[in-house]
Amino acid sequence: MRIAEGSTRVVLAALAGNGAIALAKFVAAGLSGSTAMLTEAIHSLVDTGDQLFLLIGQKRGKRPPDETHPLGYGMETYFWSFVVALMVFVLGGVLSIYEGVRHILEPEPVVSPWISLGVLAVAAVFEGASFRLGYREYKRVVRGRPVRLWEFIRISKDPSLVSVLLEDSAALVGIVLAAAGVIAASLFHIAWADGAASVAIGLLLSCVAFVLANETRSLIAGESVAPIVMDRLKATLANIDCIMRLDEITTLHLGPGAILVALTLDFRPNSTTQLIDAAIVEITKCLQETDGRVAYVYVRPSHKERKAAG
């Protein structure tokens, strides 16, 4: 649960920052006529909408189980994260590339470049602060383990935190590209540079959208826990006396904060029904102590045990 709360704080911080930055960029784009600045304004506006969708996903994903969704609504978080990926691609990437190509073919002069550069500098401060908050949450989640940022993005089951990390990283790179375009077009009179910067930002956003969509697709399809979590669960099961042999352990993420664990195992010989019931309670408790996200544990006897019983 703490993971979800941490990612919510990160999303709220990104939402506040992106909303203010988008407004400032649109004003600067209107005053300067810079396509790269307009692209960056659209980028920040899309990021603002993305944070709203992520918050919607988190809120809907926290709904308790009911008759139609007996295992809860946690996976709805993944759906809204996929919507975010589509928004980044269509409204961010495609629109930015279109605007950039249009201004390369029909370049327009950039006026008042210092306004644009000033806004970009302020935006860099806000985006940097948002990224720093997300980075701190990532470091808290990995708890000192040697998990690099890219590996964390690839194996993380919390799409909200991953989205913020990717979007803030892209925003910082986009600011550099937009500033380069403004400087080249206004100070060095390279007419096509502003449009080229917009195209570069669009390609960057398209890459971010692809990564987000691919990772979210895998989560929607049903991912198991990360290898390091699986190792901890197996180590815990190995230390439980009532288990004679573990044949199979299957896990499924039902959302960022909920894991289903299905076990196929052999209990000690001559175990009574009462002893097996108590053993299942002990197994569930131990697994939940190992990882607080374990929400459901299902246990079945192995094939050999069922055959012997028959």
Q: Which helix (H) or strand (E) holds 246?
A: strand 243-255
Both structure tokens of 35: 């396509």
**Tens digits of per-residue pLDDT, 169-225?**
999 999 999 999 999 998 888 989 999 999 999 999 999 999 999 999 999 999 999
> Does residue 252 carry a pLDDT above 70?
yes
Q: DSSP class of residue 256?
A: T
Q: So what's the pLDDT on residue 34?
A: 85
pLDDT in tens, 109-144: 888 889 889 999 999 998 899 899 999 999 998 887
Radius of gyration of the chain (CA): 25
To the nearest 5 percent, what fractions of the chain are helix, strand and coil?
70, 10, 20
* pLDDT level of residue 249 (50, 70, 90 thresholds): very high
Sign of the dihedral defined by the CA atoms of residues 129, 218, 5, 23, in that order: positive
Largest CA distance in the chain: 87
Average pLDDT of the segment spanning 250-255: 95
**Domain locations along the chain:** 2-221, 227-309
CATH class in words for 2-221: mainly alpha
| Nearest C-alpha neighbor of 194 from the set 206, 178, 172, 205 | 178
More confident residue, 270 or 226: 226
Judging by DSSP bridges, how do beta strands 243-255 and 258-267 pair with one another?
A: antiparallel
User: What pLDDT digit, counting tens, does each position of 52-111 carry?
Assistant: 999 999 899 999 999 999 999 999 999 999 999 999 999 899 999 999 999 899 888 888
Q: What angle do CA 35, 86, 28 make, to 5 degrees?
A: 25
pTM for the full predicted model: 0.85
- CATH number attached to the domain at 227-309: 3.30.70.1350
For residue 33, the model assigns a pLDDT of 82
What pLDDT is attached to residue 308? 47
Q: How confident is the model at residue 303 (pLDDT cuts 50, 70, 90)?
A: low
What's the average model confidence in pLDDT over 280-285?
A: 94
Residues 6+ apart with CB under 8 A from 104: 192, 195, 196, 199
Query: Which of 42-46, 236-240, 259-263 has the highest average model confidence (pLDDT)?
Result: 259-263
The kind and range of the H/E element at 244 are strand 243-255
Do the Cβ atoms of 127 and 164 come closer than 8 Å?
Answer: no
Rounded distance between C-alpha atoms, residue 155 and residue 152, angstroms: 5
Answer whether 244's CB lies under 8 Å from 267's CB: yes
- Pick 177 or 243 by higher pLDDT: 177
pLDDT band at 286 (very low <50, low <70, confident <90, very high): very high
